[in-house]
Copies of this chain bind each other. A is one copy, B any other.
Amino acid sequence: MPNPTAAILVIGDEILSGRTREGNAHYLAAELSRIGVDLREVRIVPDDHATIVAAVRALSDLADHVFTSGGIGPTHDDITADAVGAAFGAGVGVREDARALLAAHYKTRGVELNEARLRMARIPEGATLIDNPVSIAPGFTLGNVHVMAGVPAVFQAMVASVLPLITGGRPLLSQTLRVLRPEGEVAEPLGRIAAEHPGVTMGSYPFQSNGAYGTNLVVRGPEAAEVSAAMTALAAAFPETTA
């Protein structure tokens, strides 16, 4: 059976303006590899309702699971819940269980649950809440879309809440061979060995180190025996490998 698939949708003007370097997609990509979910696409879009709606629909069709990052806070630019609701034709309003979570949290701290904070209890109809042990305001899952906060610590906590609910496939195993030869010289044997090992994929990533050209060769696949066999073939073809 093929692995389940995923897509990540990052929402935020601050990424597209170059102000903030995106890190949540990178974090989640590694987590998905670990549990055997194939990440098919990452898309970064601005804080624009129509754009988010279109992206949610496209990615929801593309992959088994969509993870969104950003835009579920208390301010006027937090428009993700409404856009995800609209993508599924679901109404969005303050939900009692989410409101109760926030009320209890802020009461303990002597902080007012004002109108802005109450926005974080606005959840599309039919969604299930995603636990947020860091700052309480929940994410939610609607259809195959998991809506999570953009603050990295909260995003990671929500990922930890969601991933155990996902039935993964076979984890993608990978091995890397560091070869001190330029990519143009490893290309021919690499391509030949790749063709001889159809059960794995092989990537080559050139690097420069102390003025010398080298190439990292990466073998990826779900079967340990096939990955190892391919790696053995590579190691034999490039005996000058260094650690």
Contacts and interface: CB of A to CB of B under 8 A. Distances in A.
Interface size class of A (residues with CB under 8 A): 35 or more
Nearest to A134: B208
A65 interface: no
Given A75-B191, A184-B117, A29 B18 contact: yes
Contacts of A115: 188
A62 to B, nearest CB: 10
- Name the residue among A22, A76, A194 with the largest chain B CB count within 10 angstroms: A76
A201 interface: yes
Interface of A: 12-23, 25-33, 39-47, 51, 73-77, 111, 114-117, 119-120, 151, 153, 172, 174, 182-188, 190-191, 194-195, 201-206, 208, 218, 220
Given A16-B29, A17-B29, 8 more contacts: A18-B39, A19-B30, A41-B44, A73-B187, A73-B206, A76-B195, A111-B184, A117-B184
